[in-house]
Amino acid sequence: MQIHYRPVKEQESYSRRLTGPLPFASMLRSYKLYLMLLISSIFFIVCQNQGSITSLVSNVAAAPSASAADDPLGVPDVVAAPLQALGVGNDGIELLYGGDSEPSLGAEKIRSRSLNFKDMPLKLNDRSSSTSAATSSSAATTTTTTTSTVRTTPTTTTTKALSTTTSGNGVSKSDSGSLGRVTDVPYRFPVDTKLLPPLYIITPTYRRPEQIPELTRLGYTLKHVQNVLWIVVEDSENRTASVARLLEEIGVPFVQLAAPMPAQYRKQKVKPRGVSNRNRALQWIRANATEGTLYFADDDNTYNLKLFEQLRHVRKVAMFPVGLISKYQVSSPIVKNGTITGFYDGWLGGRKYPLDMAGFAVSVKFLHSRPKAQMPFKPGYEEDGFLRSLEPLDLKEVELLASNCTEILTWHTQARKNPPAPALDRKKYGGTNLVQLTSWLV
């Protein structure tokens, strides 16, 4: 048998043919395949993250406008900072910063549930009363979520701050001359008042050891209430720095007034305390408010938040129980089949409306229809006299809140009376923290 061997040279040629470089066409096809895979991967990633990319582009586009909006009063930081450090705005009006604000930034940020809005109270001083009404620095309130932005348009109410003096009956009158000028102070409620009627909370107060603690409790309660304006009226010739500082710190939009008790009533054994304060607040509401509800909320009471929400839609007058009043421990209308048949109170005293001051509320529109309505300087008969001044008033028209007067949503808790603090021995404690600490005491 004959065996044929292939020459080695031919085998080497075959080996080179197998291990040599691929043709150019095959390489091009491979690169095209890799490129298609890369493009497909990028397209897939873009599709999966389309929402995040859109949000990123929107945020980048909105950044310049947001930085411009953050400048208080529409001026750059370089100009605004020195003005705010001096407490002066663009128009020369002194700015009064309150709440959780940082004076160096110049805008008060008030948080109310899910709404964030900026307010700038203006301080207007006069001879016997001073007002500090919160004003919004933006035209719209913006609530931001992770995927969308909702814009709520507030309603603007133009308020007029009057320079006033107090007459003998405790009702203020405008001064003449430069002090009698009327200044327009626009105030923006954070939510449209057509959707959420505003509340005007009237709180008379006077200097005593319990004043600051009780105002603190009430103020932080009102901090949970939307569309509220707190009207605090002091029984003094001028507003006090301690109350002003507290109101600014709490951050609830407020108006601070002063209406001292007339001198002839201070000599009485039982004084008509708070009457001049409330009458001054009623005067302010008549001059500045057109809608909503007014409520006399004394600083020595405790309030359930449900009460404030029920007060918003009062058409004329609403009544409801108050706890911890008199020997019966409650003051309330007597209701049978949805109708008031009488009043349950530990002291009737011949009153037609034997109610506690915290047991009724009045519509602002209804108050305007009774221009002569005010509170009398008659101890024990302040509530009765005010409700009588609202007549004609049919009890059938009175709205019964607190589940038809079956719940107690406010209590007359009244802090225990405390004696004045003794004077600090400055020789012994001078240079210590007690010097500043005792400034909080009365």
What pLDDT sits at residue 317?
A: 98
**Of 361, 206, 245, which Cα lies nearest the Cα of 296?**
361
> pLDDT of 82-129, one tens digit each?
334 433 333 332 323 334 433 333 333 333 332 222 333 333 333 333
- Distances 366 to 184, 293, 294, 352, 370 between C-alpha atoms, Å: 24, 9, 10, 20, 7
The residue length of the chain stands at 442
DSSP per-residue string spanning 275-326: HHHHHHHHHHHHHH--SSEEEE--TT-EE-HHHHHHHTT-SSEEE--EES-T
Residue written as token pair 């001292």: 260
- Is the residue at 373 inside a domain? yes
pLDDT of 256 > 80? The answer is yes
Q: Which of 234, 248, 382, 383 is catalytic?
A: 383
What pLDDT sits at residue 230?
A: 97
**Of 194, 193, 161, which Cα lies nearest the Cα of 179?**
161
> pLDDT of 17-59, one tens digit each?
444 555 666 666 777 777 888 887 787 776 666 655 555 555 5
- Is the residue at 16 inside a domain? no
Residue written as token pair 């009244």: 414
Tell me the C-alpha distance between 100 and 278, whole Å: 28
What pLDDT sits at residue 435?
A: 82
Tell me the C-alpha distance between 362 and 319, whole Å: 9
pTM to 2 decimals? 0.61
- Is the residue at 171 inside a domain? no
User: According to the annotation, is 300 in a ligand binding site?
Assistant: yes
Report the CATH number that the domain containing residue 212 is assigned in CATH.
Answer: 3.90.550.10
pLDDT of 75 > 80? The answer is no
What pLDDT sits at residue 258?
A: 96
Q: Which residues of 25-54 are buried (b: 16+ CB within 10 A; e: fewer)?
A: eeeeeeeeeeeeeeeeeeeeeeeeeeeeee
Which structural domain range is residue 237 located in? 199-411
Q: Which two tokens stand for residue 340?
A: 């008031």
Tell me the C-alpha distance between 383 and 325, whole Å: 14
The pLDDT confidence band at residue 212, using thresholds 50, 70 and 90, is very high
Tell me the C-alpha distance between 287 and 306, whole Å: 29
- Is the residue at 366 inside a domain? yes
**Of 323, 302, 325, 300, which Cα lies nearest the Cα of 210?**
300
What pLDDT sits at residue 4?
A: 52
Tell me the C-alpha distance between 188 and 244, whole Å: 21
383 a catalytic residue: yes
Is 247 in a helix, a strand, or coil? helix
pLDDT of 152 > 50? The answer is no
Contacts 24+ apart (CB under 8 A), 59-65: none
Instruction: Enumerate helices (H) and strands (E) in the chain, giving the number of each.
Output: 14, 22
Q: Which two tokens stand for residue 175?
A: 């001064």
- Is the residue at 116 inside a domain? no
What pLDDT sits at residue 114?
A: 28
**Of 386, 326, 324, which Cα lies nearest the Cα of 351?**
386
- Distances 412 to 43, 220, 273 between C-alpha atoms, Å: 68, 17, 16
- Among 210-224, 319-333, 350-364, where is mean pLDDT lowest? 319-333
> pLDDT of 290-319, one tens digit each?
999 999 999 999 999 999 999 999 999 999
Contacts 24+ apart (CB under 8 A), 180-184: 183/124, 184/158, 184/159, 184/160
Q: Which residues of 371-382 are buried (b: 16+ CB within 10 A; e: fewer)?
A: eebbbbbeeebb
| Strand bridging mode 149-152 / 155-162 | unpaired
**Of 356, 349, 340, which Cα lies nearest the Cα of 414?**
356
pLDDT of 348 > 60? The answer is yes
| Strand bridging mode 199-205 / 228-234 | parallel
CB 72 within 8 A of CB 84: yes
> pLDDT of 167-198, one tens digit each?
444 433 333 222 222 233 556 888 999 999 99
Q: Which two tokens stand for residue 174?
A: 């405008």
Q: Cα 139 from chain centroid? A: 17
Helix/strand/coil percent split, the chain, to 5: 35, 25, 40
The pLDDT confidence band at residue 2, using thresholds 50, 70 and 90, is low
- Is the residue at 271 inside a domain? yes
Give the total number of structural domains in the chain.
1
Tell me the C-alpha distance between 114 and 144, whole Å: 9
Percent of the chain whose pLDDT exceeds 90:
48
CB 320 within 8 A of CB 335: no
Residue 104 phi, psi dihedral angles, 5° rounding: -70, -25
- Is the residue at 154 inside a domain? no
pLDDT mean over 156-161: 39
